[in-house]
Structure 1
Amino acid sequence: MEPDVHAEHIAMLALLQERPALAGQRRGDTSWPTISAEVSLRGSACALWQDLHPLTFDGMDFQPEIDRAHARLTAWRDTDFRLITVLDEDYPLRLRTVHDMPPILFVKGHLHPDDVGVSVVGARAASPRGRTIASHIATGLAERGIMVISGLAAGIDTAAHRATLAAGGLPIGVIGTGITGVYPDNDASAQLHRQVATTGALVSQFWPNAPPHRHNFPLRNATMSGLGYASIIVEAGEHSGTRHQARAALAHGRPVILTDTVATDTEWGRTLAGRHGVYVAGSTADVLGIVEDIITTARTAELAVLPGTDDDAQ
């Protein structure tokens, strides 16, 4: 999010009674994850605004933020994307449980709060073997009804989503640009973005026209981790940006599955391989078996704490 438009979010909620866009004003050390958590806790962004910016005897000139918010909302009214905020019932349930959940998601396609998905990610400059492994894993996930989450970058991400589409599965593409952008910017990538949005969902946490800033991609990786039950790292070099996803997943308490190549051929992979919650897989069958166990265990735990269960009644 651009730092000069945080106040505008407050105006959006003031204009539309907390819906459809999150409002938040970042000042000083107040971060977006903190704002998301505090708004979710209060159930109101306006309440957070009042806490962070109490009225003084001199009052507050709020009109510029209201005007800018109104202009944005008017511009987005007839677009092909929708807004989901942490205040909405259709905000993804898995994403709500991570500390760095984004306050706003822009979505094309069908994103449901209880989607069951797993990230398949890796290097942009992927080897033919890496792309083949990604394709086989994605196909296996699609055949099991598990949504394939990836970042629509070149290499592993593209291979995973193309295989998902070919298998009749449901892809979720989480991108590092605004929802109207395409990266990498070429015809093949634009076509894949459209296919993902039509079949599954295209998701962005940035303003619709935001360019692919370097700092966007670690934020995007954290969101991918939060949306899924696990992150599968297919192939990644010593300095690959995919490391951000592995770190985010471990911070979220989400399992990380490394192929044996990543676990043995990179220093960071060897370091991670010994940590709690990190699995090393030597084949596609290994990966899929680990994923099935992870999801079964997680879903059982989730059902155990739902209202009306035995645990709740005790």
Structure 2
Amino acid sequence: MATSSVNESATLLALLQLRPNRMSWPEIATEVALRGSATALWDEIYPATLEGMSSAEDTARHDAAATWAQWAASDFDVITVLDDSYPVALKAIHQMPPMLFTRGELRPVETAVSVVGSRDSSTEGTKIAANVARGLAERGIAVLSGLATGIDTAAHRAALDAGGRPIGVIGTGILRTYPAANKALHTEVAAAGALVSQFLPDAPPQKHSFPMRNATMSGLGVASVVVEAGEHSGARIQARVAVEHGRPVILTDLVVSRTQWGRALQDRPGVFVATSTAEVMRVVDRIVELIAEPALPVL
């Protein structure tokens, strides 16, 4: 549930639309979060003058307020970086989205693990993804994936069948379904867990959107399991950004044996190679244990 004021939220949206000084959305998100106020950033960039705001600035805030009113009446929720309900884990990555459009329940603090891989998955890869997702569900760990065909679909379906909590992070707007064949799965994921988009509600699938989605998935989770992937797979991007985020990456031997990037990544700190589902789950268990361990006192 949003806790920031409508004025703050509308001002944030206006900043995103204007992109002052050619700031990126994550840069705007960071600056707003640091100040705890979109209005404070606005006032710094557009200081009040005797003449008042320019017509473009005035129009931007007016249009943003109207858009925000429309969203408030829609069947999805909007969470901004100013809201208490914004996921804490996302605030630790430099690609932090300024707002998230959601259906279902996205929790501010949650233990989740990504299960990702190829859209054109093999029978073996599909089986591994399902087994890992079931293992996560049995441990009460949310299953993050991208609702694409192949590995993503297998992971979400297994999580649902096991009574777990799926979190689908999509590369389109919340009002879109891609691929269209997964429309029913979108609905099921939202009902049992959460459906999440960082893009404007009606945004179509675009090539640059999916790497951004993968960075958000990495940020939301405590680890990423890459089940099966090609040389240019989006899962490769997620593995790379997860290493940048300092989040553990678990590669199956399918990835390491079949891709150059998997072999190149396997010796990086925080990257583990698993030869079985049981081994994947042992690594996950240890990661969760380390997170739960209390920090050492400062001497």
TM-based fold match above 0.5? yes
Partner of 1:197: 190
Distance in 2, Cα, partners of 1:76 & 1:281: 44
What TM-score results when the alignment is normalised by the length of structure 1?
Answer: 0.88
Say which of 8, 13, 18 aligns to 2:8.
Answer: 18
Say which of 32, 36, 39 aligns to 1:43.
Answer: 36
Partner of 1:31: 24
Distance in 2, Cα, partners of 1:227 & 1:20: 25
Partner of 1:163: 158
Structure 2: which amino acid aligns with 1:38? E
For residue 12 of structure 2, give the secondary structure of its aligned residue in structure 1: coil
After TM superposition, the runs of 4+ consecutive aligned structure 1 residues lying more than 6 A away are: none
Q: 1:172 to 1:21 in 2, by over 3 A?
A: farther
For residue 99 of structure 1, give the secondary structure of its aligned residue in structure 2: coil
Structure 2: which amino acid aligns with 1:46? T
Partner of 1:307: none
Distance in 2, Cα, partners of 1:282 & 1:242: 18
The answer on whether the counterparts of 2:112 and 2:222 sit within 8 Å (CA) in structure 1 is yes
The answer on whether the counterparts of 1:21 and 1:104 sit within 8 Å (CA) in structure 2 is no
Q: 1:295: how far off?
A: 1.6
Distance in 1, Cα, partners of 2:110 & 2:11: 22
After TM superposition, list the pairs within 5 Å mapping 1:63-78 onto structure 2.
63-78=58-73
For residue 78 of structure 2, give the secondary structure of its aligned residue in structure 1: strand
Matched, 1:136 2:131: yes
| Aligned alpha-carbon RMSD (Å) | 1.8
Partner of 1:214: 207
Q: 1:22: how far off?
A: 3.4
Partner of 1:6: none
Partner of 2:229: 236
For residue 68 of structure 2, give the secondary structure of its aligned residue in structure 1: helix
Matched, 1:261 2:254: yes
What TM-score results when the alignment is normalised by the length of structure 2?
Answer: 0.92
Distance in 1, Cα, partners of 2:62 & 2:22: 26
Structure 1: which amino acid aligns with 2:42? W
Say which of 175, 179, 182 aligns to 1:184.
Answer: 179
Q: Deviations over 1:231-287 (max 9, x none)?
A: 000000111121110111011111110001101221000000011110000000100
For residue 22 of structure 1, give the secondary structure of its aligned residue in structure 2: helix
Say which of 288, 291, 298 aligns to 1:298.
Answer: 291
Say which of 46, 52, 58 aligns to 1:53.
Answer: 46
Structure 1: which amino acid aligns with 2:121? A
Q: 1:49 to 1:21 in 2, by over 3 A?
A: closer
For residue 228 of structure 2, give the secondary structure of its aligned residue in structure 1: coil
Q: 1:77: how far off?
A: 2.5
Matched, 1:87 2:82: yes
Alignment size in residue pairs: 291
The answer on whether the counterparts of 2:106 and 2:194 sit within 8 Å (CA) in structure 1 is yes
Q: Deviations over 1:118-170 (max 9, x none)?
A: 00000101111111110000000000000000000000000000000000000
The answer on whether the counterparts of 1:21 and 1:84 sit within 8 Å (CA) in structure 2 is no
Q: 1:26: how far off?
A: 1.6
Structure 1: which amino acid aligns with 2:139? R
Q: 1:28: how far off?
A: 3.7
Partner of 1:3: none
Q: 1:76: how far off?
A: 1.8
Partner of 1:276: 269
Distance in 1, Cα, partners of 2:245 & 2:45: 27
Distance in 1, Cα, partners of 2:171 & 2:217: 11
Distance in 2, Cα, partners of 1:138 & 1:93: 23
Structure 2: which amino acid aligns with 1:198? A
The answer on whether the counterparts of 2:11 and 2:64 sit within 8 Å (CA) in structure 1 is no
For residue 279 of structure 1, give the secondary structure of its aligned residue in structure 2: strand
The answer on whether the counterparts of 1:21 and 1:83 sit within 8 Å (CA) in structure 2 is no
Partner of 1:9: none
For residue 152 of structure 1, give the secondary structure of its aligned residue in structure 2: coil
Partner of 1:111: 106
Partner of 1:99: 94
Q: 1:229: how far off?
A: 0.1
Q: 1:63: how far off?
A: 2.7
Distance in 2, Cα, partners of 1:20 & 1:82: 14
Q: 1:179: how far off?
A: 0.6
Structure 1: which amino acid aligns with 2:214? N
